Structure 1
């Protein structure tokens, strides 16, 4: 694989750290800024909503620009945003800085996915996307635990300072190794680009993404209480177990990328079925320490195994000038699923069947995603379109 792909991975790593590291620093942030832990937790929601809002805005605003230039601008926004987080004097300035940083997220992965597919042969596109997204998985395995330790040892601001340095390094690596666009940027017509979002196949792809990740985050958001209250682990055991989850992310992402290169639709359907099955069976494993650790790893693998086929599926359905916009919207769809899943999980715990029933209820969302994907494939066949390969 070309080194330019790993330059994109470096950017993905930095973005992954800044998105998730705050989860381990809520107590430190809340104590320093004089807000409750629940208020500090809204910094996570604010980031997710910033991704959802920023993806279409930034993609439309930069549609006429060369993709390498766009990636560099996004990394500059990311770097400045993290520096602002490190220097934030109060809660609301930190919230604003988090939202600013999030504006780079969706478009970076959207445009980055398109760039990644141009760097490799047609039969390697899903693997290329998977390699870029490996930055997110490595961020979860190495970056987030290190950032959490750094913030707890030297103050949460030091973590955002370190991520700022990562942003500078990623900017330099992208500038050096990502090639300039081979062709001049295609003329962009906003009305034409937005029309891609009116295609039923694209909308079904985006909704499939949302539903699949509602299920993932419905459980993952509350994985710590599942491990401590139901399985009986100590608080200190949670971080090592999350490393197991991160290992699952890496394996699922890379394996699914390889499979999706050859069999896109079977891989897509298979990963959704696996996600449903794992969530249902996890319901019966949450009270057994060995079993629940196994299912945490399987959940990580199944979760990120959906990413390459979903991203490539949406790119294919949006073939043409609207690809970057559709790709960015799909990243926003992942984050919308995250936000809805976290809310749904909280509702189930506080006002529904309770924590122990969370996994099987979460499984209903990817089950709906599976049904929608099957309908979308049938929709293509009825319209006489090749359903991407028996792909």
Structure 2
């Protein structure tokens, strides 16, 4: 199953390069189209909103199809987006073209994870899922900063060219390596939708939403923040994105191992960054080396957030893992939208320097959700033990 997990990882690298590769070039896009940075942020938030609203339904609809074909169609849509975007179409068309592959992003990820962990023991599930989701961290350290670097050398359109090349490689890799994968048994829609009545699952969904919103309140404006607040040029920012990603690869691998032992504690550890990083960014001031150190820690604590969302939500819905994964993606991307939009409002009003504090507020809400679910589970265990003693 490792081979399948690595192929899923390759596809996710292509997807993340398209989704988040735009972060490093938002200031250039804003200048090109003569729009504000928060309006340029629509390229990220609109993409995420489509995923949030349609992801579970698309996953349910495609649950009976061959996983290999679905994954190939999904990646092909991302390839088309990269090609069209590289021609710098009108801004309204650029937004539409970026929204199209978003419909299939949750389908790809949920199928890739489900395929990787099929027929393996519980102790291996999070490690294999970590390999697939590790594509996010790998993209952050390789293709995303490289796309930003190419934009600094040539122009912002070159970034989309890089995205097209990466997704083309991913498409070939899936076609060559992945065998046909027909689902063994199609679960009824009712069975999968039943998870929406589970209070533990709903609380977990809220935690995922707040956690991702917390991280993306600042990360969505990573380039703008480092440029205006820390006074870094575009090339230096691309190096910072590289550093951000390389520490994330290590933490994503570590989180995968830790979650096999204790999911809530692992999530709480990495979630602490949503509170610590804003304070550290503030006190690092204009000191370059202090800022570099904070960015390294920032990347380390940020990277496992998507794996955390998958693990926390699927642990509350073990009987419908594909649907739970798709909902994890949807709530996560709803968090991307909320974090980007809310932070954008603050940036428009008081400046980009305040965006980390928006993230801290969302992070505290995420912590409250973890505490709520933990108390609910302890209450349930207490009642269960009391009933056993009574019997």
Instruction: Quickly name the TM-score band, shorter chain normalised.
Output: 0.7 to 0.9
* 1:366 corresponding residue in structure 2: 363
Alignment deviations for residues 302-355 of structure 1 (CA, whole Å, 9 cap, x no partner)? 1123332331221121222x3222211211222222222222323334435x55
Alignment deviations for residues 187-220 of structure 1 (CA, whole Å, 9 cap, x no partner)? 432x332232232111111110111122212222
* 1:21 corresponding residue in structure 2: 21
Alignment deviations for residues 346-377 of structure 1 (CA, whole Å, 9 cap, x no partner)? 3334435x555543442222122112112112
* 2:75 corresponding residue in structure 1: 75
Alignment partners' CA distance in 2, 1:227 and 1:155: 19
* 1:136 corresponding residue in structure 2: 136
Shift of 1:16: 0.9
Alignment partners' CA distance in 2, 1:131 and 1:253: 8
* 1:333 corresponding residue in structure 2: 331
* 2:268 corresponding residue in structure 1: 269
Shift of 1:111: 2.4
Which segment is superposed worse, 213-222 or 6-15? 213-222
Give the conservation status (yes or no) of the 8 Å contact 2:212–2:336: yes
* Ranges in structure 1 where 5+ consecutive residues have no aligned partner: 387-391
Alignment partners' CA distance in 2, 1:141 and 1:98: 22
Find 2:374's aligned residue among 373, 377, 380.
377
Give the conservation status (yes or no) of the 8 Å contact 1:275–1:366: yes
* 1:121 corresponding residue in structure 2: 121
Which segment is superposed worse, 213-222 or 161-170? 161-170
Shift of 1:234: 4.4
* 2:312 corresponding residue in structure 1: 313
Question: Structure 1 120/87 Cα, relative in aligned 2: closer, same or farther at 3 Å?
Answer: farther
Residue correspondence of structure 1 range 81-120 to structure 2 within 5 A: 81-86=81-86, 89-118=89-118, 120=120
Question: Structure 1 220/162 Cα, relative in aligned 2: closer, same or farther at 3 Å?
Answer: closer
* Count, aligned residues: 382
Which segment is superposed worse, 146-155 or 66-75? 146-155
Secondary structure of 1:64's partner? coil
Alignment partners' CA distance in 2, 1:163 and 1:358: 27
Find 1:346's aligned residue among 341, 344, 347.
344
Normalising by structure 2, we get a TM-score of 0.86
Secondary structure of 1:82's partner? helix
* 2:147 corresponding residue in structure 1: 147
Alignment partners' CA distance in 1, 2:376 and 2:2: 36
* 1:164 corresponding residue in structure 2: 164
Q: CA RMSD in A?
A: 2.9
Give the conservation status (yes or no) of the 8 Å contact 2:146–2:238: no
Secondary structure of 1:186's partner? coil
Alignment partners' CA distance in 2, 1:366 and 1:264: 17
Residue correspondence of structure 1 range 285-300 to structure 2 within 5 A: 285-300=284-299
* 1:302 corresponding residue in structure 2: 301
Alignment deviations for residues 149-183 of structure 1 (CA, whole Å, 9 cap, x no partner)? 44555655554444334333323322343344476
Alignment partners' CA distance in 2, 1:187 and 1:215: 34
Normalising by structure 1, we get a TM-score of 0.86
Alignment deviations for residues 249-283 of structure 1 (CA, whole Å, 9 cap, x no partner)? 21221111111122222212222234423333433
Alignment partners' CA distance in 2, 1:187 and 1:358: 43
Give the conservation status (yes or no) of the 8 Å contact 1:48–1:335: yes
